[in-house]
Amino acid sequence: MKKEPRHDRQRAARPSWLRRAVIFLAMLFAAAGPLRADNAQDRVFAGRDQAAFVQAQTQYLADTNNPVLGWQFGRASYDWADWATNRAERAAIAKGGIAACRRSLLFTNCAAAHYYMGLNMGELAQSEALHGLRLVREMQHDWEAASELDPNFDSAGPERSLGLLYRDAPGWPLSIGNRRKALEYLQDAAKLAPDDPENILNLAESYLKWGDQPDARDELAALDALWPKARKSLAGQTWEQDWYDWSKRRDDVRQKLNHP
C-alpha cells in the first residue's frame, strides 16, 4: 500500500496528471504480482499455457527464420508470462516474445507479429513499471500497425487493445489516455466482432468505470443475449480459460450494477 505523503499541502499541490501517473504505475506494479494459479482450475490453465510455451519455443528455435513460428512463439510467451511468479521472470518471458515478433517482421509485415509484440510489451511494462509509460507509445504503434494490416485479427484484437490502452493510460501531458478514443476503439471492436463476449464485456466494464450505468446495463443485456449462442460457437478446451474469465467478469459487472 502506498504511504500517505508527509505534508497534505504538497499532495494537494500536485497536478492531477501526476496523480494519474502515480496511480497508473501502481496499477502496473500490482498487475505484476505473484503467480495467479492459486486454485485447481488456475493450475490446469497454467499447465496448459506452459506446455504451449515450451512447444512453441522448441519449434521457433528450430527455425528462427520462419515468421509464423515467430509470432506463434510471441503469442505463447504472452500467455505464459501472465503466470510468472515474479517481475524478473515475467520480463524475461516477455522479452523473448518481443524478440521473436521483431524477427518475424524482418520477413513479413503481418498483423499477428505487431499484435503480439504489443501484448508482450504490455507484460514487460508490468514487469518494469518505471519504463511502462515509455512502452505505452510502442504498444500504440504496434497495435495501430496491426489494425491497418488486419483489424479483424483475433476477433478485433488490435482495436480492442487500443481501446483498453486509451482507457487505462494516463492522459495528456503524460501519456495517451483519452476516453473518447477509448470508446471509439472499443465500439469498433464490438462492431467488427460482435459475437465475441470479450468485446461486449470491455464496453460494459468501461461504462461502469466512467460512471455510466445505463449504458453498462445495455451492454450487459447484450452480453446476456449473446451468451448462449457464444457458448455453442466458442466451445472446447481452447476456450475454457476464456469462459472462466468471462463468467467471473460478467458476474462482477452484474453485482456492481445491482449494488452500486
Please report whether residue 172 resides in a domain.
no
Residue 135 is placed in which grid cell? 512502452
Q: Which residues, listed in sequence order, are joined to residue 171 by a DSSP beta bridge?
A: 177
- Domain of residue 220: give its range: 194-260
Nearest by Cα to 80 from 66, 98, 92, 93: 93
Please report whether residue 3 resides in a domain.
no
Per-residue pLDDT tens, the chain, 260 aa: give them. 333 333 333 333 333 433 444 445 444 544 444 445 678 999 999 999 999 999 999 999 999 999 999 999 999 999 999 999 999 999 999 999 999 999 999 999 999 999 999 999 999 998 876 677 789 999 999 999 999 999 999 999 999 999 999 999 999 888 899 999 999 999 999 999 999 999 999 999 999 999 999 999 999 999 999 999 999 999 999 999 999 999 999 999 999 999 86
Model confidence pLDDT, tens digit, residues 235-258 = 999 999 999 999 999 999 999 999
Please report whether residue 147 resides in a domain.
no
Please report whether residue 209 resides in a domain.
yes
Distance CA 90, CA 86 (A): 6
- Whole-model pTM? 0.86
Please report whether residue 93 resides in a domain.
no
Model confidence pLDDT, tens digit, residues 73-85 = 999 999 999 999 9
Distance CA 236, CA 67 (A): 28
Please report whether residue 243 resides in a domain.
yes
250, amino acid identity: R
Domain total in the chain: 1
Please report whether residue 219 resides in a domain.
yes
187 by Cβ neighbours in 10 Å (0-12 / 13-18 / 19+) ranks as: middle
Distance CA 201, CA 220 (A): 7
Please report whether residue 235 resides in a domain.
yes
